[in-house]
Chains A and B, each alone.
Chain A
Amino acid sequence: MTKEKRHVISMLVEDQPGVLTRIAGMFARRGFNIDTITVGKTTKAGVSKMVITVIGDDQILEQVEKQVNKLIDTIKVMEMTEDKSIIRELCLIKVAISNKKAKDEILRYTKIYKTKIVDITPKTITAELIGDPDKIDSFIELMKQFGVKEVSRTGVTAVSRG
């Protein structure tokens, strides 16, 4: 058995009613855990793109890919490996401002992480961060010392390189 890690799986699916239920249902039934899931339109009418991340070893990954492929609504399935793809997630994070010193420090970190400040009030700063999920994890971890009021993450999306 290989090590458990995060796998990003990208698939093209028919844009049919219930397609999300079919895929999510299959994952649940077979005991695969969906970490994140995103769905969006493609340039082709009637075809959607779905990106799912799962945690598991290589054997789980192989089963996931094969079982997803078996669904009639699935047109194509690919694993998006880190070296061969661009993997991104968007995160909105609202952090509390307790005093001036905290505020300065938060702003300094948001600059280092190249986030965009999208809202600021006397008591909170909301930043938008786009990056791979590990980067987002580490930013959220960093903000915890100031008091994270709310986090909203979109889940992972990906395209292949080249």
Chain B
Amino acid sequence: MNGAHILIETLIKQGIDVTFGFPGGSVIPLFDAYLDYKGKIKNILVRHEQGAAHAAEGYARASGKPAVCIATSGPGACNLVTGIADAYMDSIPIIAFGGQVPTSLIGNDAFQETDMMGITLPITKHNYQVRTPNQMAPMIMKSFKIAVEGRPGPVYIDLPKDTMTGEVTEPIPTEVNIAGFQPTKMPNPIQIKKAAEAIAKSERPLLLIGQGVVISEASKELAELVSLTKIPVSTTFMAKGIFDETHPLSLGTVGMHGRKIANYATLKTDLLITIGCRFSDRITGNLKTYVENAKVIHADIDPAEIGKNVKIDIPIVGDAKEIITQLTAELKKLQTKEKTEWTKTIKHYKKYCDECVPIKEGKRIHPKTVMLELNKLMKPEDIVVTGVGQHQMFAGHFLRMRKPRTFISSGGAGTMGFGLPAAIGAKVAKPDVNVFLIDGDGSFQMTIQELGTIKEAGIKIIIMIMNNSYLGMVRQWLELFSDKRYSEVYLGTTPDFLKVADAYGLKGIRVAKKSELESAIKQAIKNDTTTILDIQIEEESNVLPMLLPGGNLKDAFGGCMAGPGKYFEG
């Protein structure tokens, strides 16, 4: 068998039945091999390789399983780069294959030769160049192991053409071993004990849950910990939905555009219990004042994250599910009691936050209105994917997600254009749920060509374009910090998204008034093809509250806070 066939067989053994890819000279042998594995594996032909990478990400984010994208050498592989970098920032397990010129031509500046090993080095967890057909299977097997185990991340594999056409002569190993890769899964029991004792002693404990808990599939364990201890739960943007956001103890997301109640609790806590979160600058603001008066427990599978940004009192290295389970067991032994004073205060202020100030609706629709409507119409299993910008932050702030892996967004990289292809990947992974894409008019146009993929692959999603004619997030920064000196942020009113929908053979509905919203979304859910809702959003609405970049949490301003003072009293 040649290298290409072994490649496909290895993918199938790894549980892959669908890939996202785009052909070219160097990968002709690979796509040729697909013809021999019909019914076992298929490729979804994207319209641009960036789409392949984001679609793989969407698949991985929705399913928790690793996903594969493929491009040809040179420009094809270069087009994967944004998606690989995005996956790296958000710890998403994708395996990206790039074709390469034959080994005999490497280093000669042959046609469509690009040093992809060099380019992907700083944006992958690891990368491999297959040098002989015999290395094909073991390198792919190692890549899957690396992508998935410990803290996940993307792996790039460079495929010189002759490694796919050449014959594999050695037997395929059943297992691979990587000497330098043994992530710590089991936490140190002494640290668990210390953490449990600190929790028992604390008066105002707060959970800060990050995507690590999503990755380790520990939502059930987390719910048990909370039901035992009644500790309020804040999450990062990336972990949205890991804990039912309609639960009375859910405070929603923290950080720059997080909910005030979550940031308030962060200011007031005396013990922050952080699990699977890397304390990004969008969460902490000014590191000097962040939780300056609280003790911090930090549990993470990546030891390099502990102490990187925030000074930690009790570090725990290990898998989140293990840690939560053991912590719960330890706390049961200690017979911890609910901190009733604290939960009462939290519930009291949370009420303000839930009620919010009413929206002043102008001629066009306020973004928040859309989110509140969607909260009513989506089912708990349904998935929301977003673009990047104001609409993304409105979604993060106002949507109430109830299950893990239902909120999919580019967090660490903030990649405009992520939304549409990621929504394709999510729908392929979860064909039985509704996938809502909440996208910006700017973001959507960055990967709009994937509407072709949607049509031809028969994928049905619901596209909600939050059309404000602006690169809204940048416009907001210019309004707030540059005295409204708007420069290069107005997009105008093109294109006509309904005509775009029509051109691709899809459905389109314009939503100009609040009163049309409900029926339009319902219609899009009912339609049997993808529908684009062109939602006419107020042009200059701002996402608030907002924490200034590098600012102090207590100075977060604006937002839907009825009640006293600039922030909560006290």
A contact residues vs B (CB 8 Å cutoff): 13-14, 17-18, 21-22, 25-26, 29, 59, 62-63, 66-67, 69-76
Contact = CB atoms under 8 A, between A and B. Distances in A.
Contacts of B308: 63
B122 A18 contact: no
B117 interface: yes
B302 interface: yes
Interface stretch (B173-181, B324-332, B434-442, B463-471): B173-181
A66 B304 contact: yes
B304 A72 contact: no
Nearest to B302: A70
Nearest to A71: B180
B122 A25 contact: yes
A69 B121 contact: no
Contacts of A17: 129
Interface string B166-184: 0000000000001111000
Contact of A75 (B118, B179, B302): B179
Nearest to B126: A72
B523 to A, nearest CB: 49
20 contacts: A13-B180, A14-B179, A14-B180, A18-B117, A18-B121, A21-B118, A26-B122, A29-B122, A62-B307, A63-B307, A66-B303, A67-B304, A69-B304, A70-B302, A70-B304, A71-B180, A72-B126, A72-B146, A73-B180, A75-B179
Contacts of A18: 117, 121
Given A13-B180, A62-B307, 5 more contacts: A17-B129, A25-B122, A59-B307, A63-B308, A74-B180
A75 B307 contact: no
What 5 pairs between A and B have smallest CB-CB spacing?
Answer: A66-B304, A75-B180, A72-B126, A74-B180, A75-B179
B400 interface: no
B121 A21 contact: yes
Contacts of B121: 18, 21-22, 25
A66 B306 CA distance: 10
Contacts of B302: 70
A63 B117 CA distance: 25
A64 B469 CA distance: 46
Interface in B280-307: 302-304, 307
B125 interface: yes
Nearest to A73: B180
A76 B180 CA distance: 7
Contacts of B122: 25-26, 29
Interface string B114-135: 0001100110011001000000
Contacts of A21: 118, 121
Contacts of B178: 72
A59 B311 CA distance: 11
| Residue picked from B178, B179, B308, most chain A C-beta under 10 Å | B179
Nearest to A75: B180
B75 to A, nearest CB: 23
B201 to A, nearest CB: 27
Nearest to A64: B304
A113 to B, nearest CB: 40
Contacts of A63: 304, 307-308
A44 B307 CA distance: 34
Contacts of A74: 180
Nearest to A26: B122
A77 B166 CA distance: 38
A18 B119 CA distance: 13
B180 A72 contact: yes
Contacts of A72: 125-126, 146, 178, 180-181
Contacts of A67: 304
Contacts of B307: 59, 62-63
A74 B302 CA distance: 15
B280 to A, nearest CB: 16
Contacts of B126: 72-73
A26 B308 CA distance: 15
Nearest to B306: A66
A72 B153 CA distance: 12
Interface string B379-412: 0000000000000000000000000000000000
Nearest to A66: B304
Contacts of A26: 122
Instruction: Count chain A CB atoms within 10 A of each CB in B121, B122, B181, B304 and give the residue with the most.
Output: B304
A67 B306 CA distance: 11
A79 B349 CA distance: 50
Interface string B89-133: 000000000000000000000000000011001100110010000
Nearest to A22: B121
B184 to A, nearest CB: 11
B307 to A, nearest CB: 7
A21 B122 CA distance: 10
Interface string B492-536: 000000000000000000000000000000000000000000000
Nearest to B118: A21
A33 to B, nearest CB: 17
Nearest to B127: A18
A105 to B, nearest CB: 51
A13 B180 CA distance: 8
Nearest to B125: A72
Interface in B305-339: 307-308
Contacts of A66: 303-304
Contacts of B146: 72
Contacts of B117: 18
